Amino acid sequence: MDPKLLPLLTCPRHAETTLTVKRIDRVVDGMIETGQLRCDQCGTVYPIADGILDLIGWRLPTSVAQLVNELPLAAWAYERTWRPIALQLLSGEPFPLEREVGLIANLVGVEQEGLLIDVGCSNGLYARGLAQARRQRDVRGYVVGIDLSLAMLREARQRSRRERLPISYIRASAQALPFAAGAAQGLVMGGTLNEIGDIPAALREWQRLLAQQGRGVMMSLVAAESGPGRAFQQLLGSGGLQFPTLAELNSAFATAGLRLRAQWQYGVVAFSLVQRAIEH
């Protein structure tokens, strides 16, 4: 956890209340390893352990997908096995990770200083890509990875530490992101929308967090058009995954107060660039 990020953090229960430092026990290479933060409004104390701020605590997974993500073996295997081939299989064309991460980094605007958040970061693929792109361009700012799974966050942190990337990791819900309104210059998400549960609430958080000229970039899966594809998605739906049609996805953006700036579709893979809708 980057200590310079601390003034930007708010309580997930009280979005306008900045968290205060209760204690910092250990700092390694300029990053907080262990400590505690506190919400002065509700009195809740949130621990930092192994460099990860935990704003969730103990909870039961609410779906099979969330349960799987909590397994250390699944977290270890995710980016080593499935993720490198996922988009090629789902899009029906060559789609290596370098192409995907480069597209995300260019669309979100890494050349802009400020806060960039990878929401539902899993192993931190997008977060590392954003941090690497900023390092290459010598751009200042913060990169944060947020996920519900502690196992995924631990794997993400190990990967970023090996690459010496100063990424802060937070265990939090996508429906209650721990930053004040307008704090984020950019938000990204890679596939997590399909397993996130309450999609409208998560998108409202994007609308709340994005700065007026900030950008949100999302890779998500939409409903399949073929019979076998629909049958397979229905099977996955029993485990908690959701596959909206492209029209349903875009309607959800609009309802949340997000303006669709551009969109690309490759098979069932959709990339969407959104901003806060202009307020009149």
Per-residue pLDDT for 280 more than 60? no
Nearest of 115, 101, 100, 121 to residue 196 by alpha carbon: 121
User: Do 232 and 140 have their domain in common?
Assistant: yes
- Going by pLDDT thresholds of 50, 70 and 90, the confidence category of residue 10 is very high
Structural domain boundaries enclosing 47: 1-51
- Pair (118, 212) in one structural domain: yes
pLDDT averaged over every residue in the chain: 95
Predicted local distance difference test score (pLDDT) of residue 62? 86
Domain's final residue, options 51, 70, 93:
51
Based on the domain organization, do 6 and 74 belong to the same domain? no
What CATH number has the domain bearing residue 143?
3.40.50.150
Q: Which of 253, 241, 246, 234 is nearest to 270 (CA)?
A: 246
Same domain, 114 and 179: yes
Do residues 80 and 143 share a domain? yes
Q: Are residues 97 and 22 in the same domain?
A: no
* Structure confidence by residue, pLDDT tens digits, 104-162: 999 999 999 999 999 999 999 999 999 999 999 999 999 999 999 999 999 999 999 99
Number of independent structural domains in the chain: 2
What are the tens digits of pLDDT across the range 188-210? Answer: 999 899 999 899 999 999 999 99
Same domain, 145 and 19: no
Shared-domain flag, residues 3 and 134: no
| pLDDT for res 243 | 94
User: Is 7 in the same domain as 93?
Assistant: no
The pLDDT tens digits of the residues spanning 39-97 come to 999 999 999 999 999 999 998 888 888 999 999 999 999 999 999 999 999 999 999 99
